[in-house]
Structure 1
Amino acid sequence: MVVSKRHRVAVLALDGVYPFDLGIPARVLGAAEDRYEVLTCTVDGGSVETNAGFSLTPQHGSDLLESADTVIVAPVDPYRLSRELPEDVAVALAGIRSGTRVASICTGGFVLAAAGLLDGRPATTHWECAPLFRRWYPHIRLDEGRLFVDDGDVLTSAGAAAGVDLCLHLIRLDHGTEVANQAARRCVVPAFREGGQAQYINRPVPDDGAASTSATRQWALQHLGDQLTLPQLAQHAHMSLRTFARRFRDETGLTARQWLIKQRLDRARQLLESTALTVDQITAEVGFATATSLRQHMNAELGIAPLAYRRTFQAGHADDVGDADAAVRTSRAGSPGSRGLPG
């Protein structure tokens, strides 16, 4: 969805709201160069208690939901809600216009579920709350292993930092990768974590005395166009192959091959949006073995070919990509490769 005007976002705060998460949309979307108007509301326009021992009073009531382009429900302790929504909350959510994009951060997904907005849809929430969510809403396809789930006009995310990922994802959808990356830099957060990435990994911080693969990952980002092999990465990290592979997965939740493919795809998307480079030139720049490999990976991960992607974000350069994309637009067969580590 490409947005041409300032996009109004209404963030709904209920009693027991988590104040850190409540501030995420304003902080992250607000870093996108004045493209969003982010406003906070409560059901009755009055103050709400937070879970941090203080109250807050937004400037708007639930009528804000009726004029919003996107509604984001901030998290709250689900036990303060119970399985059924209070009548005033249900009425407020029922006032959201048809076609409005709706999202939740962390346990805000409980509110969407209770309102019937997740019926028959995939969703996620904080992994610790998954058993309760399944018990209350068994008809919803919950996947607590994901950072966020994009189901078109309804999106859900996991706890805290995953709310940042979700907001950056919204910026990418609305304005492209470059604007999202700029917002991420302003907030000093990672520019891109795929929604399907695991919510938690074995060791987000290395054990005391253990070497990290962080420096090697940074080095690899600077050499995406080169042939990168697992032995080469392990050598750079001064580790054995087995130790490097284990620590890499512990720290990122991905194998080195999976991680490289994601970084190359992210860079390819940036180049498709911001340059007139051809698919062959972008292939060489980001390190995929062939243009077919790039196309197949984009189809597999994003469901779109490079030409169609560029048309979405950069119509002026669409013809530079070449007509060859049409032949592979629906192809997802095979096991596409990238330079060095196979794709």
Structure 2
Amino acid sequence: MTVVALLALDGVLPFELAAPGQIFGTANDAAGRPHYTLRVCAEGRSVRTDDSFGGFRMETPWGLEALADADTVMIPGHAGFLAEPPPAVLAGLRAAGARGARIASVCVGAFTLAATGLLDGLRATTHWTQADELAARYPAVEVDGGSLYIDNGRVITSAGVAAVLDLCLHLVRRDLGAAVAAATARRTVMPLQRDGGQSQFIEHPVPADRDSALQPTLRWLESRLHEPLTLEDIARQAAMSARSLNRHFRAQTGTTPLQWLLRARVNRARQLLETTAIPVERIACETGFGAPSTFRQHFARLTGVSPQAYRAAFHSPGG
């Protein structure tokens, strides 16, 4: 029997706390035998959920001591994830990691896991809105804000909210095999594996500070996304050498001119896929990619899905 301990901290997000029980309980049914048993573990055996999502208090039979013999410890997100976790929580997680328990964080639960040091030197993910913050607070962690989950063996992290379902199905597949995982996915009306990662859900970013010295050049680029621009074309418009232009772009946008242009083209393509019925071939031309195959390649690399799959997921009716 695999004991799964769900670490519930005050302000826990109810969905992220309940979803593992749904998946693992369904997996028990799909396997035709009990494999998982779940414990909700809370300091003081009592926890209040986040008020923003209908706050309520739960009593549980298990305190933090129940982490001591758990095979898997899961850390759902909670409202106070930016604060330092209680010492007893850190001690319990470190002890679980030291004895070889599998530890998985859900969404912003990655901050709690990172605070233990167990993510140091590993790739990790979290909700895409908090990926930069996680990287800034824990520079020893290699943060990948585009993945739905990252499995490092004994330490696993997942992306935002619904990615807890992807994570749990992945663990079922690891533990009980593909057939049981597929049956569990069908019974919970979930795809066994979703296309792409969370990159496809990231909002179109504002490329740079609107007061930056590069703004005239950025506006010029945004108005010419359909043109086959070169680095020399951009440098000429900015009245700089290509070397100086690269240096200014890196300092003010964190990337190179051509990479900025590529992302701007993909963002424009996303907007067209979301709001129009324009064929992919025409979008490739209107966003400066030219050949549809080139467009599909770059779009899939940056978003994790094909243009057709993106449109199917995000196209607005009437667009």
Structure 1: stretches of 5+ with no match in the other structure: 1-5, 212-238, 260-343
How do residues 64-83 of structure 1 correspond to structure 2 at under 5 angstroms? 64-79=66-81, 81-82=82-83
Deviation at 1:208, TM superposition (A): 6.3
Q: Using the TM superposition, give the Cα deviation of residue 257 of structure 1 relative to its aligned residue in structure 2, in angstroms.
A: 11
* Residues 250-299 of structure 1: CA deviation (Å, up to 9, x unaligned): 9x84237999xxxxxxxxxxxxxxxxxxxxxxxxxxxxxxxxxxxxxxxx
Distance across 2 between alignment mates of 1:17 and 1:40: 11
CA RMSD of aligned residues (A): 3.2
- Percent identity, please: 42
Partner of 1:294: none
Aligned residue among 7, 11, 19 for 1:16 = 11
Structure 1 residues 193, 253: closer, same or farther in 2, change over 3 A? same
Q: Do structure 1's residue 254 and structure 2's residue 302 form an aligned pair?
A: no
Q: Which amino acid aligns with 1:42?
A: A
Change (3 A) 1:174 1:92: same
SS of 1:172 mapped into structure 2: helix
CA distance in 1: counterparts of 2:187 and 2:16, whole angstroms: 18
2:61 aligns to what SS in structure 1? coil
1:126-205 matches, cutoff 5 A: 126-193=127-194, 198=199, 200=201
Does the aligned pair in 2 maintain the 1:42–1:62 contact within 8 Å?
yes
State the TM-score, normalized to the length of structure 2: 0.62
Displacement of 1:31 after TM fit?
1.0
Summarize the Cα distance change of 1:182–1:44 in structure 2 as closer, same or farther, 3 Å threshold: same
**Greater alpha carbon shift after TM alignment, 240-249 vs 118-127:** 240-249
Residues 192 and 181 of structure 1: CA distance in aligned 2, closer, same or farther (over 3 Å): same
- Helix, strand or coil at the partner of 1:23: helix
After superposition, the C-alpha distances for 1:198-249 in whole angstroms (9 at most, x for unaligned) are 3526769x746749xxxxxxxxxxxxxxxxxxxxxxxxxxx56456977996
Distance 1:17 1:240 in 2: 42
Map 1:92-111 → 2, pairs under 5 A: 92-96=92-96, 98-111=99-112
Q: Structure 1 residue 40: deviation in Å?
A: 1.1
- Aligned equivalents of 2:152, 2:56: Cα separation in 1: 34
Amino acid at match of 1:11: L
Compared with structure 1, are the counterparts of its residues 13 and 164 closer, same or farther at alpha carbon in structure 2 (3 Å cutoff)? Answer: same
User: Is the contact between residue 106 and residue 163 of structure 1 (CA under 8 Å) also seen in structure 2?
Assistant: yes
The alpha-carbon deviation at position 54 of structure 1 amounts to 2.0
**Distance (whole Å) between structure 2 residues aligned to residue 133 and residue 178 of structure 1:** 35
Q: Deviations over 1:185-207 (max 9, x none)?
A: 11111111268563526769x74
Q: Secondary structure at the match of 1:156?
A: strand
Query: Following TM superposition, by how much is the alpha carbon of 1:171 offset from its aligned partner in structure 2, in angstroms?
Result: 0.8
- 2:317 — aligned with what? none
Greater helix fraction, Structure 1 or Structure 2: 2
Task: Determine whether 1:63 maps to 2:60.
Answer: no
C-alpha spacing 1:247/1:58, structure 2 compared with 1 (3 Å): farther
Local SS of the residue matching 2:199: coil
Match of 1:265 in 2: none
**Structure 1 position 146, deviation (Å):** 0.9
Does structure 2 conserve the Cα–Cα contact (< 8 Å) formed by 1:69 and 1:101? yes
Q: Match of 2:36?
A: 36
| SS of alignment partner, residue 8 of structure 1 | strand
Provide the secondary structure at the position in 1 that maps to 2:167. helix
1:209-220 mapped onto 2 (5 Å cutoff): 210=277
- In structure 2, stretches of 5+ residues that fail to align are 203-266, 285-291, 311-319
Q: Tell me the distance in 1 between the aligned counterparts of 2:197 and 2:49.
A: 33
